[in-house]
Amino acid sequence: MRKHYIDNLRSIAILILIPYHAAMAWNAWGEPNYMMLGTSRILSSFIVAFSPFLMPLLFLLAGMSTRYALVKRSTGQYIVERVKRLLVPLIFGTAVFMPVMTFIADKYNCGYKGSFVSHYSVFFSRFTDLTGADGGFSFGQFWFLLYLFVISLICIGIIALQKKITPKTDANPPIWLILLLGLPLPFIGGLLEIGGKSLVEFIYIFLLGYYVFANDKVVDKISRFKYIFLAVGIISGITNIYLFIWSGKSLDVINTVTNYLTEWFMVLALIGIGKDLLNQSGKISAFLSQRSFAIFSIHYVPIVLMQYLVSGIFMSDSAMMYLVPVLFAYVVTFIISEVFVRIPLLSFLIGVKPVDR
């Protein structure tokens, strides 16, 4: 039986990426971005509210989906599917979408005067901090596909080895032990970290999704405490925002604790809420599920493009500079996604199944 709440949680998380990535143009901690339009503690608070758990949730869902996929696919079939769903859109997106954003970034941040075509050589020859903010090479949002592809290959090897040692994998820990599974996160969060993204942490979360959270009994236990977990996650999240954005003090240890508390308890809460409230499919759910990967790949380009276009119009009005690109990105992303999912070749390049015309 298909777990519709997994698809629905994934779709919602991807839709949140549009206002999330638009807000990065105002981040208050100086992280390089394609467009730097100022600093805003309000928009920075919005980013920090979601950043602890948004991507961990997607990796956990990917681990759960892998467990269900391997019921009907062999290891070889799973790897082929990962190549089609992750590697192909990674290469396509990096080669086609990323040069557009880094060209705009180079023009806005560095005063680049050349043409878009001539900037291709800049993109493929300038390797600096990999953010793309200076026009150099970057994977951009496609880091997620890169990580997920690598993690999928690593974990399928771990799973294959485990199956040779013991076929029993139905982990059904008590609720107190489920809570303790979040304890390693602060200690592994800095391991094999590239650009603030820990490969070890996401491998751990992926495997938790596969071995623990794919068990319906575990999810049932979590769902009974979902609102308690949500309350803890919100309180720790608000504290995290205050410490990082508003306090003006350097409280790194406490801030780290609140960050990982937010991550773990919000993931638990959302899994429980998803299972109880989002485990159904309808026209909207099916529509978003089939297009979620296309939306993920496409969404950042219209954000950056519109931010560049309106930067000289609404410079004195931060609200309009934020809201106009967000609304534009939603509309344009859905339109372009619809084109991609209806043309087989484009569907293949974006990693989704084509829909009927």
Residue 19 covered by a domain: no
- For tokens 């759910």, what's the residue? 285
Say if residues 259 and 243 touch (Cβ distance below 8 Å).
no
The answer to whether residues 350 and 340 touch, using CB atoms and an 8 Å cutoff, is: yes
Predicted local distance difference test score (pLDDT) of residue 355: 82
Q: What DSSP string describes 176-206?
A: HHHHHTTTTHHHHTTTTEETTEEHHHHHHHH
Residues 6 or more apart in contact with residue 283 via CB below 8 angstroms: none
Residue at 254 is within a domain:
no
Residue 204 lies in a domain: yes
d(CA 132, CA 137) in angstroms, rounded, equals 6
Cβ 44 vs Cβ 23: under 8 Å: yes
219/217 Cα distance (integer angstroms): 5
CA 145, CA 82: separation in Å to the nearest integer? 10
Range(s) of the domain holding residue 119: 58-214
Would 229 be classed as within a structural domain?
Answer: no
Q: What domain count does the chain have?
A: 1
The alpha-helical segments, DSSP class H, found in the chain are 4-23, 41-50, 54-72, 75-82, 88-96, 98-110, 116-123, 143-165, 175-180, 185-188, 199-208, 216-224, 226-241, 252-277, 283-298, 300-310, 318-342, 344-350
CA–CA separation, 55 and 60 (whole Å): 9
Smallest Cα–Cα separation from 269: which of 242, 230, 307? Answer: 230
CB atoms inside a 10 Å sphere around CB 281: 14
Each residue's pLDDT, cut to its tens digit, for the chain (357 residues) gives 678 999 999 999 999 999 999 999 999 999 999 999 999 999 999 999 999 999 999 999 999 999 999 988 999 999 999 999 999 999 999 999 999 999 999 999 999 999 999 999 999 999 998 999 999 999 999 999 999 999 999 999 999 999 888 877 777 889 999 999 999 999 998 888 887 899 999 999 999 999 999 999 999 999 999 999 999 999 999 999 999 999 988 788 899 999 999 999 999 999 999 999 999 988 999 999 999 999 999 999 999 999 999 987 876 677 889 999 999 999 999 999 999 999 999 999 999 988 875
Asked whether residue 151 is assigned to any structural domain, the reply reads yes
Q: What is the pLDDT of residue 209?
A: 96
Which residues, in sequence order, are bridge partners of residue 197? Answer: 194
The owner of tokens 């300038």 is 126
355, part of any domain = no
In a domain, 82, yes or no: yes
Domain assignment present for 222: no
